[in-house]
Structure 1
């Protein structure tokens, strides 16, 4: 139910919730009441249900140490490139999740993403960089092999039309499935941005030990 509400920022009716999760409307109503009691959702004046502020408290401890260490690295990368910097973690075998996003403060325009966004691991530079950290696999995309050779992955328009991504694997001891990168409107010099992203990934890896 929470996943359904994440995908509907303007809210859903109880009937829509019931249909989206495949339960009877009475069951959905009871579940909504339970979530309301814990401030995980709330009802608007028109009775649509939206996410509640209690989720902020629950989300705060998630990967807190990682996010604390990553923030200054992402902030410096975003400032140096005037582009949106992001930290992505592997969700499972097929998906990655956007764990942290830092937007540049002085850029006239920049790419905006929703934190927590889930994307296919084989689409977009973040997932490709993570796959490039694994041994070559039969049937893998050519972009993965190229990322393995270059040390960073590049994608164009795979997550959002007109948006390019450049990401590198964070090779930290005891951690896997973590990449750091940039989302930009245009890539004038892939190698130059790639070097900056690799440097940021190495800096975070050192911080993580």
Structure 2
């Protein structure tokens, strides 16, 4: 989730996948869904309860390079509950939109480059209607593991708990040559899933101090291997 500052440039149309690309996306998405379901997820009972809680909407916070398993975690532990994620309006974002739609995740298009305020308002409204939010605090272009203020701003305005998610992989993974070194774990490998709920009211009022604390906790939850 990028900072919610309004762009002054004209708002272009969000890129979309069309024609043969949709067939390719369906084939690729189907393969990735089967791939993700082969992975063994280890999660403590308390973390499972926090992740599966459905009586209030949450803001699920996950580093951008762990989105591959983020979609699978939503399917396994929060499946059936409306879930909205902010995704870049770029062509790369369009592929991600298509994949997430296959996983039952609804996309709100926007970025810090343009449409940020409109996208932030749409996320807040979705939360107020009882829907979950997905936030990648270092997206859409990084730097990797740099917690930007947008996710915190949205959570504070929507009055939703932040559910920080950590994923540590036990076994070989494929890391792409992207800005975030996107992680794809090998089939049938093991992943340790951790989560921690943080209320915006529990964080320091100073924005940078709050971001520093969230960064510290995300680093702790995700380990140091990747």
Query: TM-score if structure 2 supplies the norm length?
Result: 0.31
Bigger RCO of structures 1 and 2 (CA < 8 A, at least 6 apart)? 2
Larger gyration radius, structure 1 or structure 2: 1
Query: TM-score if structure 1 supplies the norm length?
Result: 0.32
